[in-house]
Structure 1
Amino acid sequence: MRRYHIYIIYGLIIILFGLLLIQKLDQKQPEIIYQEVIVSPESGEEFVMKIPDTRAKLFDMPEAITFADEPVPLDLDDVKERLEREIYVNAYWQSNMILLMKRAGRYMPTIEKILHANGVPEDFKYLAMAESGLMNVTSPAGAKGFWQFMPATAKEYNLEVTNEVDERYHLEKATIAACQYLKKAFARYGNWTSVAASYNMGMGGLSKRKSEQRQHNYYDLLLNDETSRYVFRLLAFKEIFENAEKYGFNLSPEDKYAMPRLREVAVSGDITNLAEWAIKHNTNYKMLKLYNPWLRSDKLKGSKGKVYEIKIPMK
């Protein structure tokens, strides 16, 4: 019986030693580059594949950052923490960020050009990303397109919204309308950070909060959770896009989606069947809708005095 007890004690000592060894190895693990021996199925030759440690890691946060050339007060603890939150949330949502970077290759040149032509800071391209992910999505409230216009606001900024035509889905026209809103908000607030916040909660809502709290700086306001995070989401997109490799994104220009060469066909009358019309113009209904998402029906009723430009891929 005594010998049996000795075996138990030896066993416990071995288990304890094993646990200590495992703990020690775990402490060193971040320095390890894993290696795996791969055998070629063709030649039978062995070679070593080195696999880096892909576990989550801390990023060095920016020491300074601006939005539309307006400094972000990172010396305020809550501001720094809110920025960190959005950077980590978006940097570690890799699938979404990769697809966003790919879509940016197709749409950003157009958006940047229109922002520049209208005197709106280029950083507002990140607002379109935050609003829609650069997709023609529909919100639960009914906002549509890259810039997420509600029907009434769209019409206020001269976008046509009918059963057959919805220019909230028209990239160029909707971006111009967004510029008009942003410039109107800037005339009211005098700073672009407040303009960005107002795009999320409306000019009336933001002005009311500023008046109630007697604060004019976005970073000094207590706002609803969505708007409190909104500007920081734009800042996170900016930080990650401008320092992509730092956050683990190594896309080459060839990895990004590109806009094909398109030609425009001017239409002033009715089109009774868009599928037939597409075939007559050496394309098909799918491609017609893909590059003209503002066409919302299978036909187009012309408006008096209005000319529509329909984009068609060039062969």
Structure 2
Amino acid sequence: MIAIKRRKMKKAVWIVTFLAAAAFTTVKAESPATTVPGTEEYMASLDSMMNEWHKRPAAIEFVVDSINESAEKLIEELPDSVYIARLAAINSPFHFTFNSQVKSYIKLYTQRRRDQVEQMLGLSQYYFPIFEEALDAANMPMELKYLPVIESALNPRALSRAGASGIWQFMYYTGKRYGLEVDSYLDERRDPVKASRAAVSFLSDLYDIYGDWQLVIAAYNCGPGNVNKAIRRSGGKRDFWEIYYRLPRETRGYVPAFIAAAYTFSYAEEHGLRAQAVQLPVATDTVMITQPLHFKQVADMTKVPVEIIRELNPQYRLDVIPAKTKAYPLRLAF
């Protein structure tokens, strides 16, 4: 983790605030596709999203084949009663159903993809406080913080084949509807703070429609139109498992994956899962930039590598803060 002494940071922030734009270079990040249909497709998607972190200079290394033969023998098979009791013990307004679909995703997270999960546990130390702050401000269930685990593997640059972008995977028009700016220089769908606020507003609106968190999660994935269609075709039933086969195939795996993510992050220690260290700071400071500024200029003044600045500010597509007509945030470690 890059640490910056507070006094030096304050001086650097003051200088950064008044820097004018110099020469700009363009950097485009390639982002992986992400879908959650069945467990096999989800495994491929998870590998893709986590491999993107592996390729980036500020990320740690991980092994894609997460369990070798000797390690697999050490993993204890648990009776279903243990999973049921543990899910019931999670203090939440969610009804955490346990069935074969949920179990398959729990085993995916706790057995077959342990290294990816351990890296996400490390990333969660940076991202979860951001999600929790947005959820708390809106009086929303904290368990919704697990949605980005299955949406993007906590990758703020994740890009789906359908065009959904960012850690919360907003489509372009949905993002615009909830106040996220997208242009050639900026994609606020990739801003963890602003996208979290937008996601919480979207989820709140969905709850006003359905009054059921499993249906809310399903609608977040496939849209209210598809959920409403599944409800109509099921004779007006409003329970996720009763409309299960009327939903798109991807969404059928989405809610079980969410329940499994909530279980895995709640009981990581019981499964011997440990957070891997990542090069993201626990604490950050935000300064508003009022003139165009390049990350290289920020790096020169703060002595922080451009890679770290880029990790903390993934919304800027070209390493440029386009502050011509209004101020934009810059996050820095301290």
Closer, same or farther: CA 267–138 of 1 in aligned 2, 3 Å: same
Match among 304, 311, 314 for residue 283 of structure 1: 304
Closer, same or farther: CA 225–288 of 1 in aligned 2, 3 Å: same
Counterpart residue number, 2:287: 265
Closer, same or farther: CA 303–193 of 1 in aligned 2, 3 Å: farther
Instruction: Verify the 8 A CA contact 2:124 2:154 in the aligned structure 1.
Output: yes
Q: How does 1:169-208 map to 2 (within 5 A)?
A: 169-208=190-229
Counterpart residue number, 2:101: 82
Instruction: Verify the 8 A CA contact 1:83 1:235 in the aligned structure 2.
Output: yes
Find out whether 1:141 has 2:141 as its counterpart: no
Post-superposition CA distance 1:52-96 (Å, at most 9, x none): 98255422332253684233455xxxxx11111111122111111
Post-superposition CA distance 1:116-136 (Å, at most 9, x none): 111221111111101011112
Closer, same or farther: CA 285–184 of 1 in aligned 2, 3 Å: same
Counterpart residue number, 1:231: 255
Q: How does 1:24-173 map to 2 (within 5 A)?
A: 54=73, 57-61=76-80, 62-64=83-85, 65=87, 68-74=92-98, 80-92=99-111, 93-136=113-156, 137-173=158-194
Closer, same or farther: CA 288–240 of 1 in aligned 2, 3 Å: closer
Q: CA deviation at 1:299?
A: 2.9
Q: CA deviation at 1:262?
A: 2.6
Tell which structure's C-alpha radius of gyration is larger: 1
Distance 1:53 1:267 in 2: 50
Q: Secondary structure at the match of 1:71?
A: coil
Distance 1:289 1:240 in 2: 29
Post-superposition CA distance 1:98-127 (Å, at most 9, x none): 111111122112211211111221111111
Closer, same or farther: CA 298–114 of 1 in aligned 2, 3 Å: closer
Distance 1:290 1:94 in 2: 24
Give the number of equivalent residue pairs.
254
Q: CA RMSD in A?
A: 2.3
Q: Secondary structure at the match of 1:309?
A: strand
Distance 2:310 2:135 in 1: 25
Q: CA deviation at 1:256?
A: 4.4
Gaps of 5+ in 2: 1-69
| AA aligned opposite 2:108 | V
Stretches of 4+ moved more than 6 A in 1? none
Point out the more displaced range, 187-196 or 288-297: 288-297
TM-score of the superposed pair, with normalisation by structure 1: 0.74
Q: Secondary structure at the match of 2:84?
A: coil
**Bigger RCO (CA 8 Å, 6+ sep):** 2
TM-score of the superposed pair, with normalisation by structure 2: 0.70
Distance 1:165 1:53 in 2: 44
Distance 1:163 1:96 in 2: 32
Identity of aligned residues (%): 26
Match among 230, 234, 242 for residue 213 of structure 1: 234
Distance 1:248 1:160 in 2: 41
Find out whether 1:312 has 2:294 as its counterpart: no
Instruction: Verify the 8 A CA contact 1:104 1:256 in the aligned structure 2.
Output: no
Higher strand fraction: Structure 1 or Structure 2? 1
Post-superposition CA distance 1:144-196 (Å, at most 9, x none): 11100111111111001011111111111000000010000001001111101
Distance 2:315 2:292 in 1: 16
Gaps of 5+ in 1: 1-50, 75-79
Q: Secondary structure at the match of 1:206?
A: helix
